[in-house]
Amino acid sequence: MKPIILVVGARPNFMKMAPLYDELKKRDLPVILLHTGQHYDENMSKVFFEDLDMPKPDIYLGVGSASHAKQTAKIMIDFEEICEKKSPSIVVVAGDVNSTIACALVAKKLSIPVGHVEAGLRSFDMEMPEEINRILTDRISNLLFTPSKDANQNLTNEGMDAQSIKLVGNIMIDSLLNKIEKSEISNIHQKLKVKKENYALITLHRPSNVDYEDSLTRIIKALETIGEDTAIVFPVHPRTTNMINEFGLENRINQIPNLILTKPVGYLDFLALIKYSKVVLTDSGGLQEETTALGIPCITLRENTERPITVEEGTNTIVGNKTENILNEWRNISLNGGKSGRIPELWDGKTAIRISDILVNFLKEN
């Protein structure tokens, strides 16, 4: 049997592919784990692989950081050579990063079937590079593995073949449920000197928030108020660090009371930080899902989300990046405890099993 290539490129991909890799290997299927190296912090990538019990990638392209065009082009050139050498039966990509569209496009042009994990998500914001990647990848994929019914509806509205749309659930939750108990070994709270269930957690990396001084300053202003009576743990993304320095905001950041700055942390440490937080403030997509699964109130610092189920059924509230909107929701959570929410359908830790079943049947038929 020809190999199945699983593509990862950035840290969110690791959480999506780890359970699928494990399940396919259990079935003794030939699997090639390919890491494009899109994420430029290789030390952090290594930690995530270890935390998720993933093996060293079979193939590492090492494309590194660059503009969208250069990075995508480099991945395509290198991946084409891999496909010609390995002749895979199918290429499986995940999420919405540049590695996703680059590898899907190469495979499709070589007449290799493509499976897209986390298909059908839409923010309906074409200013987001990720939205472009999502739409284009879905358009050329043979198998569209969706996490929720709204994703199915999006694909149906776009005229996608109903036979290609497969509601399988949220594979990020597979990783979370697999590792949440193991995360108890983390000593991140002692290391950061923060009390469990007595802090807010914030992550920030999207260009709309950090690449413009006014938007970044509005968020900082909200943190200045929150920090007056609550500890804030802030693992700072490299992009955010660069922009804080460029705008000369280091002193203002460092003067925020009760703010605990740290470099990005590993998966198990981060799970522990989410699990024991009072509230999460974020512009991340995956974190909206993880907080919903764990029942943690989430304030999303964006104008929209490609994961509306986390708002409709989960614990997520969209507020944008205006100071007063952030603080209004913060006060609501502080006084009323925030949204309770519920865990959406098929977020049960068995998504990798469902995807593997579909892949096996597809390859038998083709």
Q: Give bridge partners of residue 8 from the DSSP assignment.
A: 35
Length of the chain: 366
Q: What's the rounded Cα separation, in Å, for the pair 274 and 251?
A: 27
- The three-state secondary structure class of 123 is coil
Q: What's the rounded Cα separation, in Å, for the pair 85 and 94?
A: 22
**Could you tell me the two tokens for 226?**
């929150």
**Could you tell me the two tokens for 93?**
């990509």
* Bridge pairing between strands 59-60 and 90-94: unpaired
| Single-letter amino acid code for the residue at 327 | L
| Region of 100 on the Ramachandran plot (φ > 0 left; ψ -120 to 50 alpha; else beta) | alpha
Q: Give bridge partners of residue 259 from the DSSP assignment.
A: 232
Q: SS3 string of 93-117? A: EECCCHHHHHHHHHHHHCCCCEEEE
Q: What's the rounded Cα separation, in Å, for the pair 91 and 76?
A: 13
**Could you tell me the two tokens for 167?**
């509601």
Q: What's the rounded Cα separation, in Å, for the pair 263 and 48?
A: 14
| Region of 118 on the Ramachandran plot (φ > 0 left; ψ -120 to 50 alpha; else beta) | left
**∠ CA 280-286-288 to the nearest 5 degrees?**
40
Known catalytic residue at 205: yes
| Single-letter amino acid code for the residue at 188 | I
Which of 35, 68, 189, 205 is an active site residue? Answer: 205
- The three-state secondary structure class of 161 is coil
- The three-state secondary structure class of 299 is strand
Residue 160 vs residues 66, 113, 144, 155, 165: alpha-carbon distances, Å:
32, 16, 9, 6, 8
| Single-letter amino acid code for the residue at 307 | R
Which residues are known catalytic residues? Answer: 205
